[in-house]
Copies of this chain bind each other. A is one copy, B any other.
Amino acid sequence: MDSHAFEALTVETLPVRLGGNAAIKRRIGDNSSLWSIKEVGDGNLNLVFIVTGETGSVIVKQALPYVRLVGESWPLPLKRSFFEYHALKRQAARDPGMVPEILFFDEAQAIIAMEFLTPHVILRRALIDGRELPRVGRDLGLFVARTLFRGSDLSMDTRAKKADVALFSDNVELCDITENLVFSDPYFEAPLNRHTTPQLDPLVAELRADRDLKVEAQRLKHLFSAKAETLCHGDLHTGSVMVTEAETRIIDPEFAFYGPISFDIGMLAANFWMSYFSQTGHEATPGARDSMRAYLLGTIDTLWETFRAEFAHLWRTERKGILYQASLFESRSDPLAAEQALACVMNDIWHEMLGFAGIEIHRRIIGLAHNADFETITDPDSRARCESKALKLGRHLAVNRQRIHSLRDIRETVERLEKEILA
């Protein structure tokens, strides 16, 4: 590849343009005339090709200069590919083996060629199908603890951390999407919003008139825009996770930015809670998905408890950054001081995480970008019932995030919402 003007790949041009690439040829075979190419991009933004040769397959992902879902009327810079590449490199170093291996990157053409994950499927799809994947909670808990701890001033050399803050500060357009579509648009009649009508109209009107909720959503946006704590994945929902029974992998970090440690965790938890409330829309007979529902709540418990335990482990063993230095605590024979500080930091992460989860739920039901969990429920009445419960949980979490102290309390609220005990 050269750095000529950007040109979108096609199934036809790909073998010509990438046929000389040594890294790809090593992986899938030298003879590019034998490559078979399939375009599989089902996301909102990019082109994604599976390229299969004599000895294997690779993924070739290319950004387009606009939002694929909307078209050229919504331009979006190619540079998101640069941020995805840099985020993948850092995540691979911070939690080895959890993101796809990169084979090569072409900044000008916004192309990343990477490991083809097979037989992995998208986690969201698996959850819709009712599959109880045993490793997901633990694997994701470890991934968020390790990437978020190791990208922060708890661990990094602060010069490198500040350089990364500067680097990722330029990911303006993708942050802008989150700033608008997650934190603001859902809470007023923004043109891009949509929801299951008319079943949800009264509840949506109620949420958009809810002063406490709107203030809290903006306080969370304030955290998003100003708490440059660590390198977040930035879009860590169940559509950014690929799974088998034996493996969990995380993809698509093009929304990467320096933000709160709590952000990725909250977004993940929200997507499991949404999956929970969507299950009645997918079960053949009432109760058929009871085990799946229990699995999902258990997965949220495992996600949080694993995060908590691994973060505490890293706190005790890898706290080499400028914050909460051992020279003030352990080295002065006061290890309990370090535990007290950890309790403070973890307390903040917990209460923020609940808030981010709450607004993530809202934007997926009353904003622009919806979830297949609910969207694939064809009966609008059933869909609205599922969505309504999730919306109420979202409001409960966002507004009461400082008053909620355990997942057990939330589980009770979730189960009572599910049983329609809480109107």
Contact = CB atoms under 8 A, between A and B. Distances in A.
B188 A162 contact: no
B221 A184 contact: no
Given A188-B327, A218-B328, A218-B341, A165 B162 contact: no
Contacts of A219: 341, 344
Interface in A257-303: 258
A252 interface: no
B153 A215 contact: no
A336 interface: yes
24 contacts: A152-B226, A158-B176, A159-B172, A163-B169, A163-B170, A165-B165, A165-B228, A166-B166, A188-B332, A209-B332, A211-B340, A215-B337, A215-B341, A215-B344, A217-B328, A218-B323, A221-B323, A222-B323, A222-B324, A222-B345, A226-B227, A226-B228, A227-B228, A228-B228
Interface string A379-407: 00000000000000000000000000000
A307 interface: no
Contacts of A327: 184, 188
A322 interface: yes
Interface in A125-170: 152-153, 158-159, 162-163, 165-167, 169-170
B158 A169 contact: no
Contacts of A172: 158-159, 162
B334 A211 contact: yes
A322 B224 CA distance: 11
Given A166-B170, A184-B325, A225 B337 contact: no
Given A169-B166, A179-B158, A344-B219, A153 B323 contact: no
Contacts of A211: 334, 336-337, 340
Contacts of A187: 328
A214 interface: yes
Given A158-B225, A215-B340, A328-B187, A169 B176 contact: no
Contacts of A188: 327-328, 331-332
A84 interface: no
Stoichiometry, as copies per complex, reads 2
A229 interface: yes
Interface of A: 152-153, 158-159, 162-163, 165-167, 169-170, 172, 175-176, 179, 184, 187-188, 208-209, 211-212, 214-215, 217-219, 221-222, 225-229, 258, 322-325, 327-329, 331-332, 334, 336-337, 340-341, 344-345
A184 B328 contact: yes
Contacts of A170: 162-163, 166
A152 to B, nearest CB: 8
A287 to B, nearest CB: 41
Contacts of A324: 215, 218, 222
A208 B329 CA distance: 10
A308 to B, nearest CB: 18
A175 B322 CA distance: 11
A322 B225 contact: yes
A422 to B, nearest CB: 25
A153 B162 CA distance: 19
A204 to B, nearest CB: 14
A407 B228 CA distance: 30
